[in-house]
Structures are given as C-alpha cells and as structure tokens.
C-alpha cells in the first residue's frame, strides 16, 4: 500500500463539505476534514484482531511531517503488540493528576497518591467505621504527629522501609517505644490499603520486623498486700482534697471498673435505691460493633458505695457527672487527678494507680476467697470471653452472685480501713 500520498498544498486547498471526509496518506494515516473546517489527523490500525483509531493532533499545529513521524512510532508499538493509545492515555492521566494536585495544593490538601492522602482516605473509608471514636482519634493523632511530617508528602509507592524506620526512630528517641510499635502497625494498615486501591505494589512494614526495640511490658501498679491496702483506704477516707475526688477513689476501690468508666459515671446511670450502676454499651471498652450491638454492663453497688454517692449527690447531683471536673465544665475529672491525689497521700506510682484498683481487687479476692468463682470476678471486670457470645456479658449474668461478692469486698475494705488484722475474706454464705 502506497504511503505519503498527501501534500501540504492538497491539504490547504481542501474545502470542507456538508459531511466529514477523509484524505488518506497511507499506512493507516488520514486527515479528517470536518464541516467546520477543523482538520484532525487520525491513525487506523489493527491490534489483537480489532480495528482501532488514534488521534494524532490537529493540522496545521501538527504538520504533515510530524503526523507521519507519529504514525511510524505508533506502528512500531503495534508491531510489538503494544496499543499506542495506552501511553497517550497514561500521559493524559498524569497531566490530569498534575492539574488536580495543583488544585489540591492551593486548597491545602495532600497530593493524590501521597501517603497522607491515602492514609486520610483509609481513616475515613476503613478505620473510623470499624473502631471506636477514641481509637480512631488516637490513630489520626499518631499519623498527623509522627508520620505525615516525615513521609506524608511522598508518593506512597515510593516509600521504603528505611524511610519508615527513620520516623519510627524519632518516636523511640523520645522514649515512646509502645507508640513506635503502634505507629508501625498503623502504617502497615495504610500500606495494605494502598495496595488494595492501586496506589502501591508492596508493604515495606514486614521488612521492619526486628528493627525496633521490643517494648517493655508495663503493668498497672496494684496492691496485693491487704495491710498496705488498708493504709491506702484510710488515706482516702481522710483525704482533704475535693470531695468528688475522694468519693471517686472510694468508689473505684469498691467497684473495680476501668477508671474511664468510673470517672465518667453519670447520675442518670445510677439506681441508688436498687444499688445498681448501668454502664451503657457505648461507653465500654469494645469494638465499634460491640458498642453498637452489645449489652450494657450492670455493676452491683455495695451499701457503702451507695452511701458514698448519696453523700456526694447534694454537691454534684445537679450536673451530669458524679465526679465533675472543677476547671472544665461539662467534663469529668481525669485519671491524672486521681493519681495525683494518691501521690499527695504518699503512695507512689510504683505502688498504686487508678487502674490498679482492678488488679488489686482481682488478686486479693482470688487469693483470699477461693470459694468465689473466677467467672464472677471476670464478669464484674467486664472481660469479654471472645466469640459471638463474648462480645458483652448478659445484663443479668451472675448478677446475684456479683452483688454478694461486691458487698463482701466492700465490707472487707472497711475492716482493712479500720486497721483490723484481716488477712482472709469471710467465706460466702451458703
């Protein structure tokens, strides 16, 4: 088939008609003359048994010689089994991406395909719908504070293990080994999302398996010595600080729930006449699904706990929280307040913490009263058993037994506080 049959003179003299017409140059190249007078270079070719067309530009911006050169480049690609339209599509996509990134930069948004953009998309699309609001917030803070400043602007596909290790070393350097491991885990989730969405081909996190120092396992300080516990209870009883803080400490010791739940105790969740505190499922330490579908956690209150709360009610009962923050209205006091109070009483962080009341009760009850079934203790602690039946304990599970256990425990604390030589708890009645 003859090629190079067109001339510039013929093209310039060609007049548009009522319909588009084609002026062939050979080798699949032709000029499409539109009724409007526009002249488009087109290339017709076959690949994998299918006829296709490719635009090569507009005449005279693309000259006859340039159109022929582009034709030959395209035919070479076809001979190699490559569709010549693909590089053009990729080039256009890249140009569009650049324009979009310029717009995003002007609006203060991360570039498409950058680690920050992918991570923020993962937070919204995957992470936040699955986890609690508090967990999602911590993940976001970790990324914004420890990751984005160092690799956030890099294309996620270009990030290597040494780049991630460098930022993790910065976290370790401030003594936050646990946080470094959590940041590494979060980055791994982002990289896996990037792979799934086509932004990256591999996750560099597995290459860091032994690159970080192993975090030291820390346990909340607790008291296993009944005599020492008696000293603490006497100190709490005589605490001269705010009555809400004193009552929070007394109640925390008696109910051994998580400090966050104790401190966020609301008057509306209490039935003092019945001696019951109901913690809504949404406030429990559970997955987002567990918070939404699990049962509330019912905590029996010993008579001493009810009395302590009744004495506090005239002071804080008009508000939402039993133990309100004195400086920030509308919020409860914090763990820091409780721990600071115990430090002022002379008990160091290696002796007891707000969270340590749970371990203290569990240890002493289990050791001093073997008649009490460990299941009652675990139910009171709201420890999930795992599996569909363990998402949350049933509202009434072991409620009668736990009520008896809680009263025995409160009585025992009273005896320790009075300085009685008590080393064993009384056996439960038949």
Instruction: Please report, for the domain that includes residue 137, its CATH number.
Output: 1.10.150.130
Please indicate, yes or no, whether residues 265 and 176 belong to a single structural domain of this protein: no
Between CA 96 and CA 101 the distance in angstroms is 9
Q: Would residue 399 count as lying in a domain? A: yes
What's the first-to-final CA gap in the chain, in angstroms?
107
Residue 427 is predicted with a pLDDT of 45
Residue 290: which CATH number? 1.10.443.10
Q: Which of 208, 236, 260 is the last residue of a domain?
A: 208
State whether 143 and 254 are in the same domain: no
How far is 301 from 256, CA to CA, in rounded Å?
11
Same domain, residue pair 119 and 164: yes
Domains in the chain: how many in total?
Answer: 3
Using omega within 30 degrees of 0 as the cis cutoff, is the peptide bond preceding 60 cis? Answer: yes
Q: Which of 208, 236, 256 is the last residue of a domain?
A: 208
Q: How far is CA 200 from CA 111, 126, 168, 197, 395, in A?
A: 15, 17, 21, 8, 46
Q: Are residues 139 and 287 in the same domain?
A: no
Q: Which residues constitute the domain of residue 44?
A: 8-93
Distance, CA of 301 to CA of 303 (rounded, Å) = 6
Give percent of the chain above pLDDT 70.
89
Q: Is residue 372 part of a domain?
A: yes
Backbone angles phi, psi at 150, to 5 degrees: -105, -40
Query: Is the predicted pLDDT of residue 291 greater than 60, yes or no?
Result: no
Do 379 and 398 form a contact (C-beta atoms < 8 A)? yes
Same-domain status, 201 and 230:
no
Residue 338, in any domain of the structure: yes
Residue 96 has pLDDT above 90, yes or no: no
CA dist 271 and 321 (Å) reads 14
* Chain segment 304-331, per-residue pLDDT in tens: 999 999 999 999 999 999 999 988 778 8
Point out the domain boundary residue: 208, 240, 270: 208
108 domain-assigned: no
277 & 148 share domain: no
Burial call 100-119: b when 16+ CB within 10 Å, e when fewer: ebeeeeeeeebbbbbbbbbb
Nearest to 188 by CA among 172, 220, 223, 164: 164
Answer yes or no: do 271 and 363 share one domain: yes
The torsion angle over the Cα atoms of residues 196, 198, 200 and 202, rounded to 10 degrees, is 40
- pLDDT, residue 393, reads 42
88 and 155 part of one domain: no
Q: Is 184:105 a contact under the CB 8 Å cutoff?
A: no
Q: Assign residue 84 the CATH number of its domain.
A: 3.30.160.390
> In terms of Cα–Cα distance, which of 53, 62, 65, 51 is closest to 22?
53
DSSP per position, 250-267: HHHHHH---HHHHHT-BG
Q: Please check whether residues 230 and 351 belong to one and the same domain.
A: yes
Indicate whether 156 and 20 sit together in one domain.
Answer: no
| Domain presence at residue 72 | yes
Residues composing the chain: 430
pLDDT in tens, 344-382: 999 988 888 888 888 888 888 888 766 677 788 787 877
Identify the pLDDT of residue 318: 92
Residue 429 pLDDT:
43
Lowest mean pLDDT segment, chosen from 87-101, 107-121, 282-296, 311-325: 282-296
The answer as to whether 324 is a domain residue is yes
| Same domain, yes or no: 241 and 202 | no
pLDDT mean over 114-142: 92
Same domain for 230 and 364: yes
Tell me, yes or no, whether 100 lies in a domain: no
pLDDT band at 153 (very low <50, low <70, confident <90, very high): very high
């Amino acid at each position: 088939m003859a090629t190079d049959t067109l001339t510039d003179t013929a093209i310039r003299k060609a007049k548009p008609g009522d319909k588009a017409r084609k002026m062939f140059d050979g080798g699949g190249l032709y000029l499409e003359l539109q009724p409007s007078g526009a002249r488009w270079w087109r290339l017709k070719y076959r690949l994998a048994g299918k006829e296709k067309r490719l635009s090569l530009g507009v005449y005279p911006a693309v000259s006859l010689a340039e159109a022929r050169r582009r034709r030959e480049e395209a035919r070479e690609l076809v001979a190699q089994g490559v569709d010549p339209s693909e590089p053009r599509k990729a080039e256009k996509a890249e140009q569009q991406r650049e324009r979009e990134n310029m717009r995003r930069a002007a609006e203060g948004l991360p570039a498409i395909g950058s680690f920050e953009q992918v991570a923020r998309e993962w937070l919204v699309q995957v992470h936040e719908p699955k986890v609690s609001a508090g967990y999602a917030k911590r993940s976001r803070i970790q990324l914004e504070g420890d990751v984005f400043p160092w690799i956030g602007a890099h294309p996620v596909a270009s990030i290597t293990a040494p780049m991630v290790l460098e930022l993790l070393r910065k976290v370790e350097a401030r003594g936050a080994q646990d946080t470094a491991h959590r940041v590494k885990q979060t980055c791994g989730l982002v990289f896996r999302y990037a792979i799934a969405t086509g932004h990256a081909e591999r996750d560099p996190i597995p290459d860091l398996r032994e690159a970080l120092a192993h975090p030291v396992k820390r346990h909340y300080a607790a008291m296993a010595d009944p005599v020492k516990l008696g000293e603490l209870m006497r100190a709490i009883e005589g605490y001269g600080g705010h009555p809400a803080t004193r009552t929070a400490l007394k109640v925390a010791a008696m109910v051994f729930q998580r400090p966050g739940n104790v401190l966020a105790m609301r008057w509306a969740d209490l039935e003092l006449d019945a001696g019951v505190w109901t913690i809504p499922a949404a406030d429990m330490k559970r997955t987002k699904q567990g918070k939404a579908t699990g049962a509330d956690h019912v905590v029996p209150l010993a008579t001493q706990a009810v009395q302590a709360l009744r004495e506090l009610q005239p002071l804080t009962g008009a508000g939402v929280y039993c133990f309100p923050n004195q400086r920030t209205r509308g919020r409860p006091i914090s763990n820091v307040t409780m721990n600071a109070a115990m430090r002022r009483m002379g008990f160091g962080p290696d002796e007891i913490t707000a969270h340590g009341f749970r371990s203290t009760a569990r240890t002493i009850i289990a050791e001093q009263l073997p008649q009490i079934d460990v299941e009652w203790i675990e139910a009171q602690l709201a420890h999930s058993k795992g599996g569909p039946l363990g998402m949350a304990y049933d509202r009434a599970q072991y409620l009668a037994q736990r009520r008896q256990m809680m009263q025995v425990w409160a009585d025992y604390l009273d005896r320790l506080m009075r300085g009685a030589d008590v080393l064993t708890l009384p056996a439960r009645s038949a």
